[in-house]
Amino acid sequence: MDMNVETAKSPGETREFQAEVKKILDIVINSLYTEREIFLRELISNSADALERYRHQSLTDAGVDPELPLEIKIVVDKDAKTLTITDTGIGMDRGELETNLGTIAHSGTKTFLTQLTDGTKDVNLIGQFGVGFYAAFMVAGKVRVSSRSFRQDDTGHVWESDGGGAYTISAASGLPRGTSIVLELKEDAAEFADPERIKRIIKQYSSFVPFPILVDGEAVNTVQALWTKSKSEISDEEYTEFYKFVGNAFDEPLLRLHFDTDAPLAIKALLFVPKDNFEKYGLGRTEPGVNLYCQRVLIEQHSKTILPEWLRFLKGVIDSEDLPLNISRQALQDSSLVRKINSVVTKRFLKHLEETAKNTPETYETFWGDFGYFLKEGVVSDFGHRESLGKLLRFESSTTEPGKLTSLADYLGRMKIAQKEIYYIHGSNREAIEAGPYIEAFRKRNLEVIYTMDPIDDFVMGHLAEFEGKKLVSADRGDIELPELDEDMQDKQQPEAEQELDKTQTTDLAAWMKGVLGDRVKEVKESKRLEGSPAMIVNPDAHMTSSMERVMRAAGRQADLPISAKDLEINARHPLIKGLATLRQTDEFFARTVAEQILDNAMVQAGLLIEPRNMVERTYRILERAVSGSKGSAIPRDQKPE
């Protein structure tokens, strides 16, 4: 024992544990074999609590041994297979030993017992239920606690138990202030009689305990609780060093956010965005990287609940500092508290992103390029932050240069007076979108269209639904209502040289095409907006875009269902459509082939999958016909086509 004071104890008094404690001990001793190393976190955390409480007390009342340094000493005896954890904290008098280590006052115990017995056996929760001390019995056959309260009138006591039904308690003398716990390790827990192992466990769980932890005299927790210091005291190097530690990283962070709030909760947070997004590289799903601390004691490493799932790329620490130590564990069971912290920190981080976008746009663009995907996931999965996330989205559009991005706010700034909605269209790339039929009418009216080129984008737009009161509308929607061309633009249009089919001719042709195409289309109708293309697919369903449908089919959902029926719009001014109206009278059989091909081409342009075999065969038939049609215009043999 690392106490250079002679101790003596009187014969002990034996007492029964409370029934709940017996139950817990029974489970701890007989059925918990994994993650046993957490016993050390629990004991260190108790010591840290005790030291913190002593520090608090000593402000008004120095107590015994005021000159003792506030620290935690661990001594490992390899031969004797013992582990001794000593702190100079507040200590316990006889009554406290009995109450604290023999009974359980916390209401969470029942819940913990159910948790442990219902098969999950998540021993990690032991601390959260206020019974962390008993974790010692996972590794120790016998536990001896010597403690002396800081109060002047206490002389000290020794508490001893083998985790069976009872413990003994006896008076001792010569004890310094604080608590010393000796664990006599079980045969199968001899691994913990190894200073290196102990140091590793401390580094993993207790690095930021604000008191020195010494293992066989050597300080182990050299990393400070950086997040509790004020920003002005921390250098960039220190931040980076901390990031490397907490994020298990080797690079420098891309962004960092260090903040402190007092209301509605006292939170200190230090968060980092790494340089690389490994999930993007296809290296599997990123696991959450933010640790939850309470008063610098680790509560949950890589917490899954303290931030939304879509912020799983963040590394760092959230410490809810204001919670009084003795209620912290219990308060944490109250998930509404965790939800509140979650919401406060998420909001603050999104605000930080907005500021970054404003102040250092290049940095934000880099961030967006690598991590924008997560924000899109947030829009789709997290209603609560949708509005703030909407401001952070970036897309190419018909107005941006290729590769350059715009925000929705900037789009709003460029909207035409008569324009009521924000338009977007999906395509696999910019060229495909611009060559396709969907943006013709928008181009003619000088209306900006956002290009959604990521498969998830249309879901993002669908969930966002509107931005600053303006609806987001996919350009492949059937019922789209475009603003009238203003005088100015109309003047610029070329006089329409081409004659279009008249109303009856168009209606007739449309009805005939519907007959030919059958269930493959819901309706065939005249287009009000096509310019250069003969036809296009539009969606009668306002909530589903063609791109969304394709993604869902690719993901295996609805894969066995036929593509939901779309409308086909035809351009009555286009030579192909006019020609088709005539061909129908002279060669209906071939006209049917052409009608089918028009539909397939429109499907391809909509990004919808079609069965290539029929289409290829049909194209050959059409080409054959084209070739035989040009028989008369004899091409000289030596003149090769381009």
Interface with ligand ADP (CB under 6 A): 42, 46-47, 50, 87, 89-92, 100-101, 127, 130-133, 179, 329
Smallest distance from the beta carbon of 317 to ligand ADP, in angstroms? 21
Smallest distance from the beta carbon of 77 to ligand ADP, in angstroms? 19
Q: How far is CA 217 from CA 199, 214, 561, in A?
A: 12, 5, 70
The alpha carbons of the chain give a radius of gyration, in whole angstroms, of 36
Coil/strand/helix, residue 465: coil
Smallest distance from the beta carbon of 72 to ligand ADP, in angstroms? 9
The residue among 136 and 544 lying less far from ligand ADP, judged by its C-beta, is 136
The residue among 57 and 366 lying less far from ligand ADP, judged by its C-beta, is 57
Closest CA to 614 of 591, 597, 595: 597
Coil/strand/helix, residue 231: helix
Q: List Cβ neighbours of 239 (8 Å cut-off, separation of 6 or more).
A: 226, 253, 256, 258, 270
The residue among 131 and 357 lying less far from ligand ADP, judged by its C-beta, is 131
Smallest distance from the beta carbon of 85 to ligand ADP, in angstroms? 8
The residue among 111 and 261 lying less far from ligand ADP, judged by its C-beta, is 111
Give the H or E element holding residue 424: strand 422-426
Q: How far is CA 51 from CA 48, 74, 88, 210, in A?
A: 5, 15, 6, 10
Amino acid identity, residue 282? Answer: G
Q: How far is CA 234 from CA 207, 227, 345, 514, in A?
A: 18, 9, 21, 71
The residue among 146 and 398 lying less far from ligand ADP, judged by its C-beta, is 146
Smallest distance from the beta carbon of 181 to ligand ADP, in angstroms? 7
CB atoms within 10 A of CB 499: 9
332-360: b (≥16 Cβ within 10 Å) or e:
bbeeeebeebbbbbbeebbebbeebbeee
Smallest distance from the beta carbon of 319 to ligand ADP, in angstroms? 18
Residue at token pair 């219902």: 118
The residue among 38 and 317 lying less far from ligand ADP, judged by its C-beta, is 38
Are 134 and 140 within 8 A, CB to CB? no
Distance (Å, whole) CA 193 – CA 190: 5
Looking at 189-298, list the stretches that DSSP marks H as alpha helix, in order from N- to C-terminal side: 195-205, 236-247
Smallest distance from the beta carbon of 133 to ligand ADP, in angstroms? 3
The residue among 100 and 173 lying less far from ligand ADP, judged by its C-beta, is 100
The residue among 58 and 619 lying less far from ligand ADP, judged by its C-beta, is 58
Residue at token pair 């969606």: 539
Smallest distance from the beta carbon of 200 to ligand ADP, in angstroms? 22
Are 217 and 230 within 8 A, CB to CB? no
Smallest distance from the beta carbon of 203 to ligand ADP, in angstroms? 21
The residue among 123 and 536 lying less far from ligand ADP, judged by its C-beta, is 123
Smallest distance from the beta carbon of 246 to ligand ADP, in angstroms? 24
Are 144 and 37 within 8 A, CB to CB? no
- Show the tokens assigned to 360: 């250092």
Q: How far is CA 268 from CA 73, 98, 271, 305, 525, in A?
A: 28, 36, 10, 17, 61
The residue among 36 and 315 lying less far from ligand ADP, judged by its C-beta, is 36
